[in-house]
């Protein structure tokens, strides 16, 4: 049998994404973002995001059909993110997917957003042929995963106990007077700074944390340290060197992310690491993960930035794997689950 042709829909945060894949081949990748509408609030406003999904859904579907030269009648299945994410936003994608499934008599698959972030790498670098580890870093997630089978077997080794990595970038950018979303601005400004200028804390890396929090992260103490540093400089009447603060903050985040992830690969004897999520676009992270993984004999796979941020192709990519394994479709009363655990790949 030829590879499954799957339509994927994503609407868990502020991107409306529609993708079409055949197996690991990408046929369409259309994304509409509502990020501009959230800028003045300094973060994603759920109601605004839901409304934007509603408006963007049909045009984004049509854009994807045009790119692939086919439409929903041609596909074998419809896959949709049903969690984790913002409930109201997820509901728009799930409602659209159900409508298409019923109207065209297609099987419906409610899929896990986190697993999809990992699966998307297969569109670029081919199928995983063995167990891989994954580092997922975005505005909403920071996880180290062990992936034995992308469609059926994922273990979470660690996660953040407070802020997500991207959230920390966004909050620190705000402290430094940089626009939202802050990650790309910190990345840019930090290039002019000295990452060793200020010794910011590395959360959960003390010897006492090596057991209980071995693969976990904490970024709220780091954010507070940056805030205290800025306030202190201002009180002293000194000029805040934004480039040095940005570079030192960024180094602290990247140091912990890469150190713990390489440790997890070593501990579990894994020689392939996939990095995904919006923060995977960070220049310093990409550089550092390569250096540290290579030194440990680990191959690094990072999809291009356009596939790292939220999109529908990642959902379609996971859908194709699930369909190929003969997994039963979801029920038509599929609910959304804002805190769907990563171990539930198909809901
Ligand atoms: O994956 P994504 O697009 O959406 C979520 O699922 O959250 O990730 C967005 C996050 C934001 O916090 C943004 O600041 C961060 O990714 N980000 C970056 C960079 N580009 C985006 N963080 C650091 N460096 C970047 N170059
Ligand atoms: Zn995401």
Instruction: For residue 73, give the CATH number of its domain.
Output: 3.30.420.40
Residue 136, pLDDT > 70, answer yes
343 occurs within a structural domain: no
Task: Answer whether the bond into residue 318 is a cis peptide, omega within 30°.
Answer: no
Same domain, 29 and 108: yes
Cβ pair 79, 347 in contact under 8 A:
no
Distance 113 CA to ligand 2 centre (A): 6
Q: Do 300 and 181 lie in a common domain?
A: yes
294 shares a domain with 153: yes
In this prediction, residue 246 carries a pLDDT of 98
Q: What is the mean pLDDT of the chain?
A: 97
Range of the domain at 170: 130-304
What average pLDDT does this structure show over 62-88?
Answer: 98
Residues 203 and 160 in one domain: yes
Count structural domains, the chain.
2
Same domain? For 194 and 235 the reply is: yes
Q: How confident is the model at residue 172 (pLDDT cuts 50, 70, 90)?
A: very high
166 lines ligand 1 (CB under 6 A): yes
- Check pLDDT > 70 for residue 131: yes
Are both 229 and 283 inside the same structural domain? yes
Are residue 281 and residue 153 in the same domain, yes or no? yes
**In the prediction, which pLDDT does 65 show?**
98
Please indicate, yes or no, whether residues 75 and 223 belong to a single structural domain of this protein. Answer: no
Query: Is residue 182 one of the residues assigned to a domain?
Result: yes
Q: Is 65 left (phi over 0), alpha (psi -120 to 50) or beta?
A: alpha
261: Cβ below 6 Å to ligand 1?
no
CA 145/CA 141 separation, integer angstroms: 12
Residue 228 lies in a domain: yes
Atom of ligand 1 nearest to the CA of 164: 12
How large is the average pLDDT for residues 308-330? 97
Q: 81: closest CA among 333, 307, 346, 328?
A: 346
Round to whole Å and give the CA distance between 155 and 263: 16
Q: Is residue 222 part of a domain?
A: yes
Does ligand 1 have an atom closer than 6 angstroms to the CB of 309?
A: yes
Q: Compute CA 271 distance to the chain's CA centroid, rounded to the nearest angstrom.
A: 21
Q: Measure the CA–CA gap between 250 and 243, rounded to whole angstroms.
A: 10
User: Looking at the structure, do residues 245 and 210 belong to the same domain, yes or no?
Assistant: yes
- Give yes or no for residue 12 CB within 6 A of ligand 1: no
Distance 30 CA to ligand 2 centre (A): 16
At 204, the pLDDT band (50, 70, 90 cuts) reads: very high
User: How far, in Å, CA of 240 to CA of 205, rounded?
Assistant: 27
Q: Kindly state whether residue 346 falls inside one of the protein's structural domains.
A: no
Q: Tell me: do 106 and 137 sit in the same domain.
A: no
**CB 279 near ligand 1, within 6 Å:** yes
d(CA 61, CA 28): 10
CA distance 81 to 113: 6
Q: 48 CA distance to ligand 2 centroid (A)?
A: 18
- Pair (78, 149) in one structural domain: no
The mean pLDDT of 247-265, rounded to a whole number, is 98
Residue 283 in this model has a pLDDT that exceeds 90: yes
* 11, 27, 274, 172 alpha-carbon torsion, rounded to 10°: -40
Alpha carbon separation from 134 to 190, 194, 239 (Å, rounded)? 26, 29, 40
Q: Are residues 113 and 170 in the same domain?
A: no
**Residue 104, domain member (yes or no):** yes
26 is a domain residue: yes
DSSP collapsed to 3 states, the chain: CCCCEEEEEECCCCEEEEEEEECCEEEEEEEEECHHHHHHHCCCCHHHHHHHHHHHHHHHHHHHHHHHCCCHHHCCEEEEEEECCCHHHHHHHHHHHHHHHHHHCCCEEEEEHHHHHHHCHHHHHCCCCCCEEEEEECCCCEEEEEEEECCCEEEEEEEECCCCHHHHHHHHHHHCCCCCCCHHHHHHHHCCCCCCCCCCCCCCCCHHHCCCCCCCECCHHHHHHHHHHHHHHHHCCCCCCHHHHHHHHHHHHHHHHHHHHHHHHHHCCCCEEEEECHHHHCHHHHHHHHHHHHHCCCEEECCCHHHHCCCHHHHHHHHHHHHHCCCCCCCCCCCCCCCCCCCCCEC
pLDDT above 80 (res 203)? yes
Q: What is the model's pLDDT at position 42? A: 86
Ligand 1 pocket residue status of 140, Cβ below 6 Å: yes
pLDDT surpassing 70 at residue 259: yes
Confidence of residue 1 (pLDDT cuts 50, 70, 90): low
Is the C-beta atom of 110 inside 6 A of ligand 1?
A: no
Percent of the chain with pLDDT over 70: 100
Is 333 a member of any domain? no
Mutate to test the pocket of ligand 1, among 183, 253, 258, 307 (most ligand atoms within 8 A of CB): 183
Q: Which ligand is nearest to the CA of 280?
A: 1
Distance of CA 73 to the CA centre of its chain: 30
- 89 — pLDDT class (breaks 50, 70, 90): very high
Q: Would you state the pLDDT for residue 226?
A: 98
Residues 119-141, mean pLDDT to the nearest whole number = 96
In this structure, the residue with its CA closest to atom 10 of ligand 1 is: 139
For residue 193, give the nearest of 154, 241, 156, 243 by alpha carbon. 243
Closest to 51 (Cα-Cα) out of 94, 101, 11: 11
């Amino acid at each position: 049998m030829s590879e499954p042709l799957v339509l994927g829909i994503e609407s868990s945060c502020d991107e409306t994404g529609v993708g079409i894949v055949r197996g690991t081949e990408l046929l369409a990748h259309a994304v509409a973002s509502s990020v501009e509408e959230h800028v003045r609030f300094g973060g994603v406003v759920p109601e605004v995001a839901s409304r934007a999904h509603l408006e963007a859904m049909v045009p984004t579907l049509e854009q994807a059909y045009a790119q692939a030269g086919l439409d929903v009648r041609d596909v074998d299945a419809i896959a949709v993110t049903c969690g984790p994410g913002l409930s109201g936003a997820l509901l728009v994608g799930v409602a659209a997917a159900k409508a298409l499934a019923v109207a065209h008599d297609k099987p419906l698959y409610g899929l896990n957003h986190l697993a999809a972030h990992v699966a998307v790498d297969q569109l670029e670098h081919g199928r995983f042929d063995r167990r891989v580890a994954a580092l997922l870093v975005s505005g909403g997630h920071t996880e180290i995963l062990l992936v034995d089978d992308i469609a059926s077997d994922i273990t979470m080794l660690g996660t953040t106990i407070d802020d997500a990595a991207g959230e920390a970038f966004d909050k620190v950018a705000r402290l430094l007077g940089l626009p939202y979303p802050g990650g790309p601005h910190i990345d840019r400004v930090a290039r002019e700074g000295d990452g060793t200028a200020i010794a910011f804390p590395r959360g959960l890396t003390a010897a006492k944390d090596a057991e209980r929090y071995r693969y976990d992260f904490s970024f709220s103490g780091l954010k507070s340290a940056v805030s205290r540093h800025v306030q202190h400089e201002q009180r002293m009447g000194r000029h805040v060197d934004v480039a040095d603060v940005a570079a030192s903050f960024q180094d602290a985040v990247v140091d912990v992310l890469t150190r713990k992830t390489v440790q997890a690969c070593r501990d579990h004897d894994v020689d392939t690491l996939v990095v995904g999520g919006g923060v995977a676009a960070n220049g310093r992270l990409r550089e550092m993960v390569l250096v540290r993984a290579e030194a440990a004999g680990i191959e690094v796979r990072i999809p291009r930035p356009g596939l790292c941020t939220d999109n529908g192709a990642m959902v379609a990519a996971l859908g194709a794997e699930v369909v190929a394994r003969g997994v039963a479709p979801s029920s038509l009363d599929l609910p959304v689950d804002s805190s769907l655990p990563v171990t539930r790949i198909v809901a």
